[in-house]
Amino acid sequence: MEAIVTKFGGSSLANAQGFVQAADIVKADPRRRYVVVSAPGKADDKDHKITDMLLMCYQLASHRLGFEDVFAIIAGRYRDIHRTLGLKQDLEADLTHVEMRIRAGASRDYCASRGEYLCARLMAEYLDVPFVDSSELIVFGTDGRMDEAATYEAIRVGLQDVEYAVIPGFYGADTEGNVVTFARGGSDITGAVIARGMRASLYENWTDVSGFLMADPHIVKDPRPIHSITFRELRELSYMGAQVLQEDAIFPVREAGIPIHIRNTHRPEDPGTLIVPEQTERKGTIVTGIAGKKDFRVINVEKTRLREEGDFLRKLISVFESNEVPIENMPSCIDSVSVIVAQADISGKERKILEEIRIYCAPDSLVSMPSIALIAVVGQGMIHETGSAARVFRALGEGQVNIRLISQGSSELNILIGVDNQDFEQAIRAIYQAFVQEGTP
């Protein structure tokens, strides 16, 4: 039978009503066979995420301080869901066991994972399907990384005779049975891994937004939704801050050619965003999305005939590497190269790095430009449309935005533009207007 893996985020499962909505979605399509859940998130602005509170319990217990008051809030959230849904399982036994483990010095990963564990136990009963613990499916090696071969074999064996199941996200276990978690947001990764392991036809990720938007709604009023996007385009936009999905969740399904569908639990009628391996045809604007971030520093290095020095770039990169400053981008021309780094990464190290560049690379000119914002204009369709870059630059000129830096790869998937921090919002609005509000050819 065809299988869809369906993952629900914490905002979708914050209370009993969220469980009802999620269950209705699962039951609406029998292909939704494997359900991955996060821990309950905030039910309202005054509420707290379950995982945050569990980590607080761990922190207090590790310092031999009382955590009973915090754990009581956690227990109360689960009891309310249990009571409202009329569930019969022995929740109190589970709560008592978790509390005792925390008191006995359980690991940070174990404590953090119990939100997903308890949530999955309740959802499995509500859907009347088996609960399968992800500690039996997701295998971590001694280096703390997921062991892909062991994990996919465990999934194949563990789920081969299980037609439907609810699986907690966010964690697995090492070969000795100790709970190990992914980074925060790791339930997205769990869903993707299960989808690949079961060769699902689709990975659905249900959250509290209806997919991706072409631009930040805090900057552009009512930006157009993105109904379809490729994995490559998503990587570019995610890198520049457009986050709906945990970025590492892309890789397992991308390698298997499995689409991801971002959907809104509270508005299941919305089309959402479909993330696909390749885009055959896209109607509408040639630009898929516009995203950016502030607070970069650009270090421009000029040297006549630098290309004749075969090791110049190696020397330049090694300066940043030895100072543990990651390089974001390196646009270049015949006699100069610009190194883009995040201001937060170079803070406190800039003077030392500039001096080392002078010593090691002997540049003719070395200029450091602070407070630069980077904007990515992303769209697979730009390679087929003449004048896309000119259209961007014309829009910025008409918007009186000074361009400090330009970079475009040969794939023409992404045009990267550097502007002053103060021009960031105006630049995004100007580009959006040029490609969307004015229409496309």
Q: What are 157-173's pLDDT values in tens digits?
A: 999 999 999 999 999 99
Q: Could you give the domains of the chain?
A: 4-208 (3.40.1160.10), 289-437 (3.30.2130.10)
Q: Any idea what DSSP says for residue 213?
A: B
Average pLDDT of span 226-255? 82
* pLDDT at residue 279, as a whole number: 67
Buried b (16+ CB within 10 A) or exposed e, 42-80: bbeeeebbbbebbbbbbebbeeeeebeebbeebbebbee
- Averaged over 331-346, what is the pLDDT? 92
Cα within 13 Å of Cα(259), Cβ side: 16
Structure tokens at 109: 């990963």
For residue 43, pLDDT over 90 is answered with: no
| Mean pLDDT computed over every residue of the chain | 92
pLDDT of res. 250: 86
pLDDT surpassing 80 at residue 280: no
* pLDDT tens string 238-250: 777 666 677 778 8
pTM reported for the whole predicted model: 0.85
pLDDT at site 306: 82
Highest mean pLDDT (candidates 88-102, 402-416, 424-438): 88-102
Q: Average of pLDDT values for 112-127?
A: 98
Q: What is the pLDDT at residue 310?
A: 81
Confidence of residue 118 (pLDDT cuts 50, 70, 90): very high
3-state secondary structure of 196: helix
What whole-number distance in Å separates Cα of residue 268 and Cα of residue 21? 9
Instruction: Output 1 or 83, whichever has higher pLDDT.
Output: 83
Amino acid 440: pLDDT: 46
- How much is the pLDDT for 232? 86
At residue 182 the predicted structure's pLDDT band, cuts being 50, 70 and 90, is: very high
pLDDT beyond 70 at 284: no
Q: What is the dihedral of CA 221, 222, 224, 226, to 10 degrees?
A: 110
Supply the pLDDT for residue 333: 84
β-partners of residue 417 are 375, 406
Q: Band of the pLDDT at 278, cuts 50, 70, 90?
A: confident
Task: Name residues whose C-beta falls within 8 Å of residue 344's C-beta, 6 or more positions apart in sequence.
Answer: 295
Structure tokens at 418: 């550097």
Rounded CA separation 69/57 (Å):
9
